[in-house]
Structure 1
Amino acid sequence: MNAGDWLYQLTPSPGMLLTLITAVALVESLALIGVVVPGVVLITAAASLAGHYGINVGIVMACAFVGAVIGDGLSYWLGYRYREQVTAVWPLSRHPEWLARGARFFQRHGPLSVLLGRFVGPVRPIVPLVAGIMRMPPATFTWANLGSALLWAPAYVLPGYLLGRTWQQWLALPAALHPWLIGLGVTVVVLAIVFSLVRHHAYPQGLLYRGLATLTRYLPRGDSLWRALAPHHEEEPPLASWLLLLSALTALSAWTLIVLAHNGPLAMDVRLNTLIGALDLPLLHHASQVLAEAGDTFGVIALVAPWAIWLLARRHFAALLHIGAGLAGIAVLNTIGKSVIGRARPDAPDYLVHSLSYPSAHTSTAVVLYGMAAAFIAQSLPRGQRFMPYWVAILVVVPMALSRIVLGVHWLSDLIGGALLGLVVCAMVQLAWLRNERTALRPCPLVTLLLASLALVSARVFWLPPI
């Protein structure tokens, strides 16, 4: 079985996909769970796959409608049946402000709150629960639930479905690449969801935190181990960072051994390189070149410079030191890794003629840079919104990494190794940062700094040669 066939098997069948859409819509609307599940991302991804398969759009929207109605209905029933008890259940026991926010929204809009609340992210899964607690008449809630679901289903399903129907026409990609792209999308979404859930449950009130705390009680010297992994740090305990470090380091070691054992490109590397090399898409190649230049040494300096100047001016020396250490550390590790592995590139233009392939420095540096940025930004956000910077970082890093394959200067396995190496460095920087209490990095002139970075990166792309 080749890699493309293996990737294709990762995608669900049409029947399973419809079941998945129903389940996602249900969970996304369900109180206590919907507040921590990135439902919009999941619905968009599932609807895109449904569009690619050509499943009838009416059936897709009907499944989303049914799931949404059941999810809101269950939330309402929980509030109606278990008024006081539900507030003592995690995560509402940990975040009573979520319930207060939903109550204020319900009091402001009355019966319309169920209709409006389905489209307002922070209160979406809470309003039906509050409606039950506040004893909204069942008949009134039922009509509001059905009406809001009728509007919600097409609004959330159609954009993803349209994307799935048209992406291959936009890019005119050969059929042999479809399994790779679908497999990539499924893999990235699944890993991102797992990462988000692990981070969310690695806090003192989370299931993962409590489960591991219980487990270590039965281990020799378990108390000492637990104090090292997760000392009492209510705001940002380092357990998630330790888990990321251990899992990424293990995966990087195993993957590097596989690369070394092959003494050359893997079978999937050769197959994908051949497929990409056969493409005749000048626009895609040009976009990849822009991303490559934005992610090289000059591009990283241009991107970081405004933020470094602001941190220096505001005397945030610790943050500046950690960012600098992360970027310097990944540069050193990339140099050592390339020298030790000694793997040749699939193609080496003049400016890369003396450069080696594994791991991908562009990928690892992007993971470190945007991963650190996401971590710093997440610390200034409410707990329920901290997954958002990480998803944005993923949306930036994945195209930047894939541009290296389009340009023909890296194998797919180089990108995987680079991403894992970048995650190791990200986790190490985060662990170092969390050793001490830190001053907040806000207020930050976010828009001004973003525009300055964009201007400098644009200047780098248009006026400096690639390195």
Structure 2
Amino acid sequence: MEHAYLHLLHLLAGHPEWTLTVVFLAAFLESAAVIGTFIPGSTAMFLAGALTGTGSLSLGWALACAIAGAIAGDGLSFWLGSRYKSQIVKRWPFSRHPEVLEAGYRFFDRHGAKSVVFARFVGPLRAIVPVVAGMLGMTPLRFYAMNVLSALLWAPAHILPGVVFGASVLLAGAVSFRLVVILAMLVGSVWLSYRAAALLISHANAWSSAAGRHLGSWACRHPGPLGRAARRMLDPNAPDASSVLIASLIVLVCGALFFGVLEDVVTGDPLTHVDRSVYRFMQSVRTPWGDTVLAGLATLGSTATLAALIVTVVLWMLWERRWRTIGYWLAAVVFSQLLIFALQFALQRAAPNHLMTDAYVFPSNHVAAAVIVYGFLAFLLARRVGMLEALLVVTASMLIVLVIAFAGVYFGRYWVSDAIGGAALAYVWVAIVGLTAIVRHPQPPPPRRWMPAIVLAVVLASMGTQSGLGMMGTPQDMAPQPLSHVTREQWTVSVWQRLPCYRSDMGGDRKEPLTLQWVSERESIRRQLLGEGWVEGTELTPHSLLSLASPDVAATALPVLPKLNNGVPSSLVFMRPGGTRDQRDVLRFWPTGYAVDNGTAAAPLWVGAIAHERLSHASWPLNILRIDKQVSAFDTRMKPAEGLDTALVATVSCHGVPVSLLASAAQ
């Protein structure tokens, strides 16, 4: 997969004219009259920016093509409006949807010449206002002044976020290619969802009115069963079709997600490797202040807080006399918890941190309970407040669930897949309960705009009470795991074979070879390498981050990208200049959990990997370092040991990878 990704980037980098042509056409068509409303040009701009961030495309040329396409598209729309003033209103689609032109008239009347600039950032009006400007007789000089200004603002606003995303993908690739895929899918899904939602919202009224007229006309001509079904759909007292559709999609998507995770857990798919890597990473970055903060946030999902919210919801529904809603909800809670306990007993999956819990953890009933309580509460509130308040309520509910799940993974109460499985299963039940409530009570409930404030007060009061009673105590499990002591003979005979031959990323993908095993204290390694010309890796500082965009920078001035081995970050990082100013060698070490005892003293055992990195000038304005795959085994094996106060104990072959076993003189 990684090779295919790199091949794609190489192909695009070798034929940038293809991408630049797409950028120009996307910007042009999005600004053109009529069709611009349906062309997702912003998505193409974002993707072009992502390619720029990975060094596959020139930022200057991408901006130039986007600006030129936007100016040309608006210019065409303006010309059409000027040339066919009286005939446009008689042509499709304006003849069928005159409200589109009316919206453009109102916008232009309100903002005047500035509307050409403002409309560029408003999807439904982007391709209409230039037409209106031409129809109303705006002078070409004034129009093109506004047109050029709007294009100069619009192109960077849509391309630069993609540049940041592309650069972050490149940085994530240093840790794990699977993270690149997940990050790309996440951002792509959010972006496409945003574009689809914007398109639907901008055309929803016109489309729904037209569809309603056609469906009503068809239903009147067909008195049979299908006609009766169509008339029921048009009944204003029928359930909200959009709410039913959303609930059904949640059931399908979350159900598929749950069964997918279940299959991975049962079969031992690489997802379980991600679980272990994430847990090791969380334990490696834990700090006392982080424990305190997350322990406080975890009370959002504590039994006391959830119980307080359940009581609040029950009293609320009793006050509204919605007895069936309470029954459906409690039945879903009980059934989901019974199903979760049955699955936990069948799979018998232990928690990563046995000190936190001795219960089985897949799927996580803790996360599931939080989803059912907060998810159902969000459903009730969203139907009783305005659209903006509903969006905020749903967003807050999802963020709270994420915080609760993250805190559990951080402390080792359950694995990542346990949290995902529990959340997916619970969202299915929340959607089913919501769907049942909508069908049973299709009429909108009475507004309760003050209820979100009451719910917030209940949550804060519960958290404050738990804080006052000292119930936010952090887990006392941060003591470092003791090292496993082995003798030098055991290390050279068998223990070295237990250690991996290659570095593994978060998803278990094999990376560069681990060609060093070094027995020494941390300070001893640092002192010896510094004495041989190595320097400690550049940290992520404002100065080093600015160097990423410097037109003339040495490779050693750039920050050393983070790398993980099975979720554990490198504890020691060193670098030294390479053969030229654009090259450098990077040496990283990870702990192994072993200590080698020579009879009088013991020292920790480290595994290390060396990489030769080369600066890619073709990627400017972002300086990107790429690993040179041509480093020979001899260089990789011997350079770190030359001249050091270290003995080369042995050279072994780990599945074809030459590994140097090193030990300091004291060992």
* TM-score normalised according to structure 2 size: 0.50
Quick one: distance in 2 between partners of 1:34 and 1:115?
A: 16
Question: CA 1:256–1:444 in 2, change beyond 3 Å: closer, same or farther?
Answer: closer
Determine if contact 2:244/2:438 at 8 Å carries over to the other structure: no
1:145-294 superposed matches below 5 A: 145-159=147-161, 161-162=163-164, 164-165=166-167, 174-176=175-177, 178-186=179-187, 188-189=189-190, 192-193=193-194, 196=197, 205-206=207-208, 221-223=225-227, 226=230, 230-233=233-236, 238-258=240-260, 264=266, 266-279=268-281, 280-282=284-286, 292-294=298-300
Instruction: Return the match for 2:320 from 308, 317, 320.
Output: 317
Question: CA 1:63–1:352 in 2, change beyond 3 Å: closer, same or farther?
Answer: farther
Quick one: distance in 2 between partners of 1:400 and 1:8?
A: 35
Long gaps (5+) in structure 1: none
- Offset, 1:128: 3.1
Provide Cα deviations, 1:273-305, integer angstroms capped at 9, x if missing partner: 233234233379757666654345555567899
Quick one: distance in 2 between partners of 1:274 and 1:162?
A: 29
What does residue 442 of structure 2 align with? 436
2:111 equivalent to 1:104: no
Quick one: distance in 2 between partners of 1:115 and 1:165?
A: 29
What does residue 410 of structure 1 align with? 415
SS at match of 1:110: helix
Determine if contact 2:108/2:129 at 8 Å carries over to the other structure: yes
Instruction: Return the match for 2:431 from 426, 432, 437.
Output: 426
Determine if contact 1:308/1:320 at 8 Å carries over to the other structure: no
Determine if contact 1:303/1:454 at 8 Å carries over to the other structure: yes
SS at match of 1:358: coil
Provide Cα deviations, 1:386-408, integer angstroms capped at 9, x if missing partner: 99659946973785487255555
Question: CA 1:52–1:456 in 2, change beyond 3 Å: closer, same or farther?
Answer: farther
1:344-355 superposed matches below 5 A: 344=349, 346-347=351-352, 352-354=357-359
Quick one: distance in 2 between partners of 1:53 and 1:154?
A: 17
Letter in 1 for 2:157: A
Quick one: distance in 2 between partners of 1:406 and 1:187?
A: 27
Aligned residue pairs, count: 446
Quick one: distance in 1 between partners of 2:250 and 2:185?
A: 19
Provide Cα deviations, 1:195-229, integer angstroms capped at 9, x if missing partner: 84797588783499679969x999x954455566x
Determine if contact 1:17/1:46 at 8 Å carries over to the other structure: no
Provide Cα deviations, 1:79-110, integer angstroms capped at 9, x if missing partner: 564235467577x56xx4x7555433312332
* TM-score normalised according to structure 1 size: 0.66
Question: CA 1:172–1:191 in 2, change beyond 3 Å: closer, same or farther?
Answer: closer
Letter in 2 for 1:441: P
SS at match of 2:207: coil
Quick one: distance in 2 between partners of 1:209 and 1:337?
A: 42
Instruction: Return the match for 1:116 from 98, 107, 118.
Output: 118
Letter in 1 for 2:343: I
Deviates more, 1:146-155 or 1:122-131: 122-131
Letter in 1 for 2:241: L
Long gaps (5+) in structure 2: 476-667
Would you tell me which structure has more strand in proportion to its own residues?
A: 2
Would you tell me which structure has more helix in proportion to its own residues?
A: 1
Determine if contact 2:251/2:432 at 8 Å carries over to the other structure: no
Letter in 2 for 1:354: A
SS at match of 1:83: helix
Instruction: Return the match for 2:383 from 369, 376, 383.
Output: 376
Question: CA 1:124–1:190 in 2, change beyond 3 Å: closer, same or farther?
Answer: closer
Identity among equivalent pairs (%): 22
Quick one: distance in 2 between partners of 1:181 and 1:250?
A: 21
- Offset, 1:114: 0.8
Letter in 2 for 1:317: E
Determine if contact 1:79/1:132 at 8 Å carries over to the other structure: yes
Quick one: distance in 2 between partners of 1:346 and 1:87?
A: 60
SS at match of 2:266: coil
The structure that has the greater radius of gyration is 2
